[in-house]
Structure formats: C-alpha cells, structure tokens
Amino acid sequence: MAINKFLLFALTFQLLLILHVSSESSLITPKKFLELAKSPEVFDWMVRIRRKLHENPELGFEEFETSKLIRSELDLLGVKFRYPVAVTGVVGYIGTGEAPFVALRADMDALPMQEAVEWEHKSKVPGKMHACGHDGHVAMLLGAAKMLQEHRHDLQGTVVLIFQPAEEVFAGAKKMIEEGALKHVEAIFGIHLANWIPLGKTASLAGSILAGSGFFEAVITGKGGHAAIPQHTIDPVIAASSVVLSLQHLVSRETDPLDSKVVTVSKVHGGGTLRAFKGFSQLQQRVKEVITMQATVNRCNASVNLTPEGKESVPPTVNDMNLHKQFKNMVKDLLGEESFVEASPLMGGEDFSNFAEAIPGHFSFLGMQDDTKSYASFHSSLYRVNEDALPYGAAIHASMAVQYLRDSNKGSRDEL
C-alpha cells in the first residue's frame, strides 16, 4: 500500500513537472517575436501605418487624426484602451489586467518643418513633418501590440501601451503622468530610431543617457535713434552681443571640464536652449542673471522667459541599472552578442525622462543606418526612416515586456 502511494506521488510529481516544462517551452521567445515582426502580415501592416502617419503629421496636442488611427487599429486587434489621456494620448492594456504592470511608450507628434524629401508618401501638410521618427515609433509599438495580443494568454501580467503626445515641446509625458497613465506600472521602456547606429543593432547605457534640456527666450529693450548720433540712443544690439558672448562663459569658465553642458543662442531675435546632465536649475538661474546684468551694464532692460510658448524643461533621462541589465541580455538573445552597442551620453533631451523619474525606466536607440549612409539625422528636412528597422523595434518592445513580466513573476516565486 505504501509502495502504491509512493508510485502515485512520483507519477503525479512527474506529470506536474512535464506540464511545467511543456508550459515553459510553449512560451514565445524573442527570436519568435522577430520572425513574426518580419512576416509580411506584420511588416507590411506596420509600413502602411507608418506611411499614413507620415503623410498626415500633427503637432503636439493636435494629434487627433493620429490618435484616431491608433484607436482604430487597437479596436481591430481587440485591445482595450483609455482615451483621451493628455488631450490626444492613448493608453492600451494587454494581458491579465493584474500585476505586474510594465509599460511600453511611443511618442506620436511631428515637427513644424517643411519636408524636403521627394517621395510617394511625402507630408501632405505644408510646414509640418515627421522629422524625428515618431511615425516609426507608433508603427513599432502597434506592431508589438499586434504580436502581444496574439499571445496575450502567455503573458504573466499586464502590458501597458503608452501612445504619448507632445514630446517635441516636452509637455506630453508630464501631462500623461498627471492623468494616471502610469497607474500600477512598475517599469517603462522607450525606443528611439537612430541614424548613427547600424541597422539591426541597438544602443543604450546604465545611468544618464540624455541631458536635462530646456529653452529660454530673452527680450532686450533699448532706445532707438539715428546711427549718426549714437549718443542719443541706447543700443540693444550691443547689449545682445555682450549677452551672447557672456553666456558662453557659463560653459567655458563656470563648468567643470569633465561635466557636459551646452548653452546655445539659436536666434538673435528669439532665444536658445540649455542642456546639462547635472546642475540644470543652477544653469537656468545663471542664464537669467547674465542676460539681465549684461543688459543693465549696457543701459538696457531685459526679461527672460524659461518656458517660451509653454515649452517645459525636462530632467536628464536616467536608465535604471537593473532594467538596463535585463534589456542588454534580452537584446543579445534576440539579435546576437554583437547587436548591443554601449552608448555614449548625448546632449539631446527627451521628455521620456519624466516617466523614468516617476518610476524605473529604460530608454534605448535602435539603429537604422545601412551601407548607403544616406539616412539624415533627426530634425532635418531630409530625415527618412529606414522601414527595415520596424520589425526590430516591434520585436524588442514585445520581448522586453514579456521578459520583464517573467522576471517579475520569477522574483515573486523566489521570495516565496
């Protein structure tokens, strides 16, 4: 009798073990996601979406048609979502609806630029263009959503899809956070297409990857008069010239040479930008002081606005150490050992930093440059997206979400 009980226990345990192994082996792998993303069904679908978005660019908080397209595609996929979030933003949900929650983010706004690339799907809106790849970012996240929804029963938690407006004016992420886009979310991942990285490779680093960034606008007022009698004038041009020169000293004479800061006066009749990895608020204060004091020295008056046209400043984008390790390992499994490139910090700014400040976050760059070396940098009127990069982005999004959920559940089991 005891032997029979022992055999019954052994058989039951073996059966449970087989079921567990079978369940684990049936779960989708990163390489499987890449195969799916490269399939004509998914790839052609992403390309069609990306080209439609490219033809119809919309600026920050004006992405109504963009948002409508996203919601339509999510409806067709059977993905539940919240709308509106931050005016035009969309937040989708795939999985169990229960913890753990992990978010994937794509920005969706365009730039006030005239496209100079002549092709079949050129922007149809004069003075507006997708010159930073956000049309590609949306297409990649929708591609990930399509694959994740097909494998939703394998998900060990909930994937949150964040389609964010107004990245270019550094306002969308903050507003989405205020309206609850990160509710229950434990971690967030973002991807940006990059022309300086080869196709099929991705780059990132732990810690600060992008600088804190902001804008300033100064108005210097003097007294006009005739050029032949300058003693009767108060010349704001001289004051402005002194300001431009003095602002450069903030970097060359007030900053540790081992730190990175940039102060650029981009328009003499307008304003400029500020960028720093640390000491950003102090840099803002010094810019105000230099402008107002130099104006006073030259007998002029000056006013300084650090949020011109409502453009907010953003903190540095800091990648969480543990998320970076997970991301690096996943990319190597997906694309091979040579596919991951250790990035160098960049002085560009991204309002993804607001997400990564609120919860652990990770931001990476996805390569799209090929042997032609013909892909221009972002914010160029000649900017193009290499559509062959779209499957890589979709697969990375989907794989990272699945991997994070698995690791989170494994950690919970280990604790028990």
* pLDDT at residue 1 in the model: 52
The conformation of residue 230, written as its DSSP 8-state character, comes to G
Q: Are 194 and 368 in contact (CB under 8 A)?
A: yes
**Phi, psi (degrees; rounded to nearest 5) at 254:** -120, 0
Q: Are 400 and 104 in contact (CB under 8 A)?
A: yes
* pLDDT at residue 36 in the model: 97
Binding residues: 132, 134, 168, 192, 379
Domain 212-310 class, CATH top level:
alpha beta
Q: Which residues contact residue 261 at a Cβ distance below 8 angstroms, ignoring those fewer than 6 apart? A: 250, 251, 255, 274, 275, 276, 277, 279, 283
CA angle, 60 then 62 then 67, to 5°: 100
Hey, where are the domains in the chain?
29-208+316-415, 212-310
First-to-last alpha carbon distance for the chain, in angstroms, is 34
Q: Which residues contact residue 378 at a Cβ distance below 8 angstroms, ignoring those fewer than 6 apart? A: 131, 132, 133, 193, 195
Give the mean pLDDT of the chain: 90
What is the Cα–Cα distance from 398 to 141, expressed in whole angstroms?
A: 8
pLDDT digits (tens, 9 = 90+) for 123-169: 999 999 999 999 999 999 999 999 999 999 999 999 999 999 999 99
Q: Which two tokens stand for residue 81?
A: 């979502």
Q: Which CATH number fits domain 29-208+316-415: 3.40.50.12280, 1.10.150.20, 3.40.630.10, 3.40.50.300?
A: 3.40.630.10
What is the Cα–Cα distance from 330 to 267, expressed in whole angstroms?
A: 44
Binding residues for Mn(2+): 132, 134, 168, 192, 379
* pLDDT at residue 15 in the model: 45
* pLDDT at residue 416 in the model: 43
Residues of the chain with pLDDT under 50: 3, 6-13, 15-25, 413, 416
Residue 397 is inside which H or E element, if any? helix 390-415
* pLDDT at residue 267 in the model: 63
* pLDDT at residue 4 in the model: 55
pLDDT digits (tens, 9 = 90+) for 21-57: 444 445 688 999 999 999 999 999 999 999 999 999 9
